[in-house]
Structure 1
Amino acid sequence: MTAADTSLPHLALLALFLMAISLSGCTVVGIIRNPGEPSGMIYSHFRQPLTHDLKHTPVVSSSVSGGIIHVEEPVSGYGIRAEFASNAIGEIARRHGLERVLWADFEYFSLLGIWEEKIVHVYGTRPLSEPRGAVRVPKE
């Protein structure tokens, strides 16, 4: 067996490894929709903060989310696509009863570039509610 015969399987494994890395979310190969975001051709999923200055921000446990589902038809080339719902921070906070928005995170999921979900997680405070069983006294 010659040296050329033994290097062929190694080259095939190296090519397979490079192809797997290129098609996964581990590299920025493929269509980059937004600079700075990782983009895989088969699968992408990441979460990043939308708010970077958290000085003097209280820790809260109230978290609500809302997102956009984006579906795209890839075969015809006509650019047929649809988006559903909304991920506007103010709308999410209002819909879920947050009184004050403190910070937000952005989550992105893509499968084959056909199915995308863009979710905004909003953290904030809810208005203080009345204790259970409290009786409201009418003002005179």
Structure 2
Amino acid sequence: MWRAAGTARFLPLLDLAVLAVAALLAATLVAAPLLGIVVATTVWCLQRAVAALVEHRARALRRAQAGLGILAAGLLLRAWMVAFALLGAGVVDRQSGLTAAVLVALALQARLAVELPRRMKGLKGGDA
């Protein structure tokens, strides 16, 4: 049995695990288009890397207002990046676009399930 402290280290990677399992199931059981799987996994990993870089840059500034500006710009950049990747996959092949959108939605839900409670803890008066 895993200890709670041990699983807490792997919790931030839940979205990547969900994406990997969903991509594997989509490829094997549903025979989903490979293009959609590749687009979803690539754009999700890329947006995670951009998020880490933006957060690192925002923390390095040590000025709240400038840091928030960088975080907001990074969030918009990531949203547009994912949207255009899904749109591009859908233009090439509708099934690929649908596959990519479903996989990204699953990864996003897993990411939100981890991040929202963690961020709520940091707020004053948060019960979570």
Q: What is the TM-score when the length of structure 2 is the normalising length?
A: 0.34
Structure with a larger share of its residues in helix: 2
Structure of higher CA gyration radius = 1
